[in-house]
Amino acid sequence: MHINPGVFGRRVPAGRFIAAAARLRPWRTALVAVLAAVAVSGCGGPRERPRPDPIEITLLGLNDFHGNLEPPRLAVNTAAPGGPAQAVPAGGAAYLASLIAQRRAANAHTALVAAGDLVGASPLVSSLFADEPTIETLNLMRLDFAATGNHEYDQGWHELLRLQTGGCERFTAKMPCQLSQPFAGARFQYLAANTVRADGRPLLPATGIRFFEQDGVRIGVGFIGLTLKNTPHMVRPSGVRGLAFEDEAASANALIAPLRAQGADVIVVLIHEGGRTRSGLQDASCAGLSGDIVPILDRLSEQVDVVISGHTHRAYLCDYARVNPAKPFLLTSAGLYGTLLTEVHLSVDVATRRVVRRSARQHIAQGQAFAGPTADVPLQRAWPVYPADPEVAALVARYSAAAAPLAAAPAGRLAAPATRQPRLNGESVMGRIVADAILAATHSPEAGGAQLAFVNPGGVRADLVPAADGGVTFGQLYSVQPFGNTLMALTLSGEQIRQLLEQQFDSGTNTVASPRILQVSHGFGYTLDRAAPAGQRIRRMRLNGQAIEPQRDYRVGVQSYLGSGGDNFSVFTHGRDITGGGLDVDALADYIRAQSAAGPMALPLAARISGR
């Protein structure tokens, strides 16, 4: 800084210094004030710095993908509630991958996460290869973290660990490493905070952290992965033996402080549990929010910023503070089968290191080459249309080609489409067909001598829509029965049959408000009355016109899932004299082929269950 020498540069004789200094004091005081002002205003001295911008973080969310690598023939309804339907064809891994890449390119700080059921109940192109192609596809999408859903345990927890870490050890009826030799496993991390072994250790890591840096400031986003506590009642019990599924909210709350200590400023819960709303696709009002996730949310810590959910296959965005002002987090779900991608935006204040703004929206994975679920559902140009990601498309094509000969094999003919949509009494046409197929496969003396058969409604995974000539393929049947369950016949008394039917309304999550109605084979029927007291809802059970006698023994055909107590039907575990059988999908193929040998198979339209 330059100073004028006319004031301080003049020489002063020693004898006159004091007097001169006294005369100069007013000038010096004024000059000091001027110099101080100059220093503050323009010479690099201390000044108030502008407040740094918040760090913008984007979360991209998936759930319930279920191995739908190829377009699942579904459309997303974009209409407002009560308005006319607006169907946008959606789905297919190659298009979803392109959508993800576009959103990642548009947002500097991005994490891709999932809320479970990425595998299990998958179409043939994934399931035939033990869901390895789905894991490889998610690797290409650069998924970061995923909660485990109940379907991740369909083939047992040892198989889940193989999908995580890789290898070719065989834990299921399906052959691993058919194309990928060896299978490398997931590059993303499954998180399972409330799934613990007998010694208290989590089966998989409970939490994970991603760090994002901007202008020298680093913000940590901590993720907690949870599956629904009811998982042991939804999968084959032997597959989760030795595991405990603990309370979801308590597990999450206990992990927040440790995550903070590791540097997490933002807390995100990935949970495989969900609900439903009456809101439109982009409406975050939470209108009519209901479901099993609500009591979990009300017990979650207010320190949680986002809850990405799944399980119910519903799409919703929800500003939960509108439901519970003490819980100001976002709740989201991206529907099912990769048709949607949820984008969550978080603004994080760098001073407080807390979220100050949050918002979310849904994107539809509409592909350029996707003609829609039917010829009358064209592409909707009002929504972005995405190209196929070439790397993902090539991977899917490789597995599809390997599965094609089996998928295209003729499997019989139907007179009309068979839907799995239940009627008022809980039955569906497709459910009746599957139950009849189980009975046919277990009826002969050498196969178990079954007199009636049951199948759980969740075990019927797709409609069966024939071609113009009525033909259906093995690939279509595989979509209906993708689990690879084996069949079995067992003995139950008439009273035990009545008790297991009562469990449709009063066992675990099977309730009168949300019953799980077993599909029954031809020749068997009964009357139900949901308004009756517990234990008295099942009446007039009959088999081939004769009343079921409480003390008499009957042979019952089921899939191994039900036979081991799945879906809260514990009475099946008391079955005696068990006879094993083949695969359920093979039984379905044999049945439809036999029934259509002389012409297209007629559908079983008559009700077998009366009442409601």
pLDDT recorded at residue 16: 35
User: What confidence score (pLDDT) does residue 370 get?
Assistant: 57
CATH 3.90.780.10 segments of the chain: 409-611
- Phi/psi of residue 460, each to 5°? -110, 105
Rounded CA separation 167/124 (Å): 21
CATH class entry, domain 55-399:
alpha beta
Compute and round to an integer the Cα radius of gyration of the chain: 32
3-state secondary structure (DSSP) of residue 127: helix
Residues of the chain with CATH 3.60.21.10: 55-399
- How far does Cα 403 stand from its chain's mean position? 25
Query: How far is the C-alpha of 347 from the C-alpha of 358, rounded, in Å?
Result: 6
Determine whether domain 409-611 maps to CATH 3.90.780.10: yes
Under 8 Å between Cβ of 165 and 203: no
Per-residue pLDDT, 377: 59
What tokens does 479 get?
Answer: 């979509």
**Which of 397, 393, 349 has the alpha carbon at shortest distance from 367?**
393
| CB contact set of 492 (below 8 Å; sequence gap of 6+) | 500, 553, 554, 556, 571, 572, 574, 575, 576
Global pTM? Answer: 0.80
Taking alpha carbons only, the member of 312, 188, 298 closest to residue 249 is 298
- Distance, in Å, from the CA atom of 222 to the CA atom of 209, rounded to the nearest integer, reads 4
Helix (H, G, I), strand (E, B) or coil at 248: helix
10-residue stretch averages of pLDDT, the chain, 612 residues long: 33 36 43 43 55 92 96 87 83 97 98 97 91 98 98 94 97 92 97 95 96 95 96 84 97 98 98 95 95 96 98 96 95 97 97 96 88 56 92 98 94 96 92 98 94 95 94 94 88 98 94 95 96 95 97 96 91 92 90 96 96 84
The answer to whether 272 touches 147, Cβ cutoff 8 Å, is yes
pLDDT for the residue 560 = 87
Instruction: Kindly give the pairing relationship between strand 553-559 and strand 486-493.
Output: antiparallel
